[in-house]
Structure 1
Amino acid sequence: MSLKIRFGVGLATLVIASAAFAQTPAAKPTRIRGEIVSLTGDTLTVHRRSGDTVTIDVKSGVPVSAVKNIKLADIKPGSFVGTAATTGTDGKLTATEVLVFPEAARGTGEGHYAWDLGPNSSMTNANVDSVVEGTSGRDLKLSYKGGSNSVTVPENVPVVTFAPAARSDLISGKKVFVVASPVSGTQFVAQRVLVEKDGVVPPM
């Protein structure tokens, strides 16, 4: 397989994986955050941050990706980002993480909606119209179909983009973020998986 073909396949996988952050409220996916206990065949066992342990069917075609750190300065006007944020008592948004999408994934999950990362958490997938240095970090002016808002990104907030990963990276002790469909009780079927790699934990 040529380098060009391998790159194309890898980028396609990342674009598919990017939908993990693009689910609209209507889809109501289950987002599983936790630590891998084991992978046996297609069964991924994860101890969730909530304290329980679940099993997830990860079929051979399910995309597995990772994230890598980039700099806050890498967010430029024209970037397409997904940012989880909390709403303060003043109504202003403060980012808890920012994902910079690859250009091929521009428009994925565009909009502003509730997120389950914590109290008063939201997700905004949008175009960056402007970046302004503020007293508490960088202020991003974001626009999306049907609206716009601004979010402050503190200097210590994780800023990431996608990186390649494989099933072989699904090893005990690694942190994961899994978007999955519930089957029953503690059983799920994975739609896509983001796994810790090179010490970088999926922050979303």
Structure 2
Amino acid sequence: MKIVKLLVATAALFAATASFAADRQVHLRGEVTAVSPTEVTVVDRKGVKTTVKLPPALQVMDVSRSSIAAVQENSYLGIAAAPAPQGKVRALGVMIFPEAARGLNEGHFPWDRNEGETMTNATVAKLSKKASATELEMRFGSKTQQVVLDGATVYGQFMPGSRELIVVGAKVLVIGGKADDGATTANVVLVGRDGFIPPI
């Protein structure tokens, strides 16, 4: 039952994130300042306040801190990264997927946390430890992407959560859409545990 719940929740998460560049797609990162059974107010890092509708079918992800020790060959990861020399990318945030979520939204595509960032959802085909950093060869289908992990990389992991996690002061990533009237409705809310900021 837990695996089924995880698959359903994760499928909702990555169905919501698969085409973030599409018109009206919303990724809202910030801190919860007010919450009710039907709405949440989030203030982003620029101080902009947004009220978001919470529908009955809302999915909540419980995101906690992890570490590079959890990254191994054959791990399935989601990596938010910035460009690096020689066609590589430098990992800013790494989300370690549970085994039940392997393969969901696999690929390498633009990401919207900061200008020029990308997201790579893929399997670790090779892990190489070097003096100042660790390099990963990430494989998705027949393609690969070289990723550099360094001391600034933040690591997280997730599991299905409940609405009770959405409280004032929580750090969240809201994934949703904007209607013609400008109202924003959440599909998925990733909530950082104990003040942790979701790393993607």
Q: TM-score, normalised by structure 2?
A: 0.88
Deviation at 1:136, TM superposition (A): 2.7
Deviation at 1:130, TM superposition (A): 0.7
Query: Which segments of 5 or more consecutive residues in structure 2 lack a partner in the other structure?
Result: none
1:69-94 CA-partner distances (Å, limit 9, x unpaired):
22202111111111011003554311
The answer to whether the 8 Å contact 1:83/1:125 transfers is yes
What value does the CA root-mean-square deviation take over the aligned residues? 2.2
Say whether 1:153 aligns with 2:149.
Answer: yes
Letter in 1 for 2:134: R
In 2, the alpha carbon distance for the partners of 1:39 and 1:16 equals 25
In 2, the alpha carbon distance for the partners of 1:12 and 1:170 equals 21
Going from structure 1 to structure 2, the CA distance change for 1:110 and 1:178 (only over 3 Å counts) comes to same
In 2, the alpha carbon distance for the partners of 1:51 and 1:42 equals 22
Moved more, 96-105 or 153-162: 153-162
- Aligned counterpart in structure 2 of residue 24 of structure 1, from 19, 24, 29: 19
Letter in 1 for 2:94: V
How is 1:1-204 mapped onto 2 (pairs within 5 angstroms)? 5=1, 7-8=2-3, 10-12=5-7, 14-16=9-11, 18-19=13-14, 22-24=17-19, 27=22, 29-184=25-180, 187-204=183-200
In 1, the alpha carbon distance for the partners of 2:175 and 2:138 equals 25
SS at match of 2:179: strand
1:5-39 CA-partner distances (Å, limit 9, x unpaired):
4x345424542354278513564631000111111
Query: Which segments of 5 or more consecutive residues in structure 1 lack a partner in the other structure?
Result: none
Going from structure 1 to structure 2, the CA distance change for 1:151 and 1:21 (only over 3 Å counts) comes to farther
SS at match of 2:164: helix
Letter in 2 for 1:19: F
In 2, the alpha carbon distance for the partners of 1:17 and 1:147 equals 25
Letter in 1 for 2:34: S
Going from structure 1 to structure 2, the CA distance change for 1:171 and 1:13 (only over 3 Å counts) comes to farther
Letter in 2 for 1:68: S
Letter in 2 for 1:119: E
In 1, the alpha carbon distance for the partners of 2:94 and 2:16 equals 11
Deviation at 1:199, TM superposition (A): 2.9
Deviation at 1:49, TM superposition (A): 2.1
Number of residue pairs matched by the alignment = 199
In 1, the alpha carbon distance for the partners of 2:142 and 2:186 equals 31
Q: Percent identity?
A: 30
Letter in 1 for 2:31: E
The answer to whether the 8 Å contact 1:21/1:82 transfers is no
The answer to whether the 8 Å contact 2:108/2:121 transfers is yes
